[in-house]
Structure 1
Amino acid sequence: MRRALDRTSRGDWWNDTRLHLCRNEADSIDSAVSTLIRRGTPTPTSDQVVAATSFGLWTGLTGAGIARDPLLGYETTLWQPRLQHAFPYRGDRRRKYIHARLYEVRVLRNRIAHHEPIYRSPLQQLHDDILEIAGMIHPDAHAYIQEHSRAQELIDQMQTALTTGEIRF
């Protein structure tokens, strides 16, 4: 997504005067910059700023922004000219579809990060969503995750435990 946003800027796409962000996304970037400065990086590079941002920022950038607003409507200001290029293998999937999948994955990620229970979450669907999103970026990303992740094995073990009572370690 960063490369797609950088297509018409110098690497710090958030400073592009032609690009307007809604308050949540602008605050997220400002917070990342402030954190870096507070931690001793007086002039953070664009790489450092991107690394310091949250998954929520990137999910938000695929959202609607303020729909039909000529400056803050993300469909026409971010998605069409830039962000759609971050998902070259998306087929006919639209921004709304990708945003919905990213949003649900973000919710799962936050639950895990905050040590909240996830056993009632639709783990199979979320796993499939992660693979689908990766595949929209590049088929090799999908294949890599599928080959190296144990998530499907663990989801299958959980299903077995729930249906038969058999627990395998």
Structure 2
Amino acid sequence: MDQQGERSSIAPCTDDIVAKLTLGFWISLLSRGRAYDRRFWVPVLHKAFPHYSGPRRPLHSELEDIRKLRNRIMHYEPIFEYDLHSYRAGIYRQLGHLSPVIADRVRPLDRIPEALVRYGEVWNGDERPDGNESDDLR
């Protein structure tokens, strides 16, 4: 189907199908029980994380937490009480499990540390969200 919901005459290629799969789908591949470890994780899926050597459950747990945070952000739900530094570390840890090279290349593009400093200034009342001094707000 195209973006208007019409059927397309062109059969989707593998890349089209993979691109439509959600983050939740990919994380769910890590969420099964013991038999799942023997049938899917050990023989195949662990290869998706070539730089990870631990059990599947901690990997799934951290990815699921990241997915939930992402959903809260995308739905404009509050994240004030979350330890965003820990989530950021988890994101880089997961990227490193996939590819340390990619994790290193993404770091220079990361604006989260600056945003967290700004968030702290606003949250502590040192600055207003519009960038003006907040002396008149105290």
Bin for the TM-score computed over the shorter chain: 0.7 to 0.9
Q: How far apart are residue 60 of structure 1 and its match? A: 0.4
Identify if the C-alpha distance between structure 1 residues 78 and 126 changes in structure 2 by more than 3 Å, giving closer, same or farther. same
Is this contact kept in 2: 1:88–1:137, CA < 8 A? yes
1:74 corresponds to which residue?
36
Segments of 5+ residues of structure 2 without an aligned counterpart are: 132-138
When residues 46 and 124 of structure 1 are mapped into structure 2, their CA distance, relative to the original with a 3 A threshold, is: same
Match of 1:165 among 110, 125, 129: 125
Please, which of 124, 136, 146 is the counterpart of residue 107 of structure 2?
A: 146
Distance (Å, rounded) in 2 between the aligned partners of 1:50 and 1:102:
18
Aligned to 1:60: 28
| Change in 2 beyond 3 A, CA 1:35/1:103 | farther
Runs of 4 or more, structure 1, over 4 Å off, are: none
Distance 1:46 1:106, change over 3 A: same
The alpha-carbon distance between structure 1 residues 35 and 83, as it changes in their structure 2 partners (threshold 3 A), is farther
1:10-45 C-alpha deviation (Å, 9 max, x unpaired): xxxxxxxxxxxxxxxxxxxxxxxx899x54245322
Equivalent AA in structure 2 for residue 40 of structure 1: R
Shift of 1:160: 4.4
**Match for 1:82: what amino acid?**
V
Q: Which residue of 2 aligns with 1:30?
A: none
| Amino acid paired to 2:57 | K
1:106 maps to: 67
Q: Deviations over 1:84-126 (max 9, x none)?
A: 1111112x43211110111011001111121212222221111
Query: TM-score if structure 2 supplies the norm length?
Result: 0.78
Taking a change above 3 Å as real, the CA distance of residues 52 and 159 of structure 1, as seen in their structure-2 partners, is same
For structure 1, list consecutive stretches of 5 or more residues without a partner in the other structure.
1-33
RMSD: 2.3
Matches within 5 A, 1:75-94: 75-90=37-52, 92-94=53-55
In the TM superposition, what is the alpha-carbon distance from 1:135 to its structure 2 partner?
A: 0.8
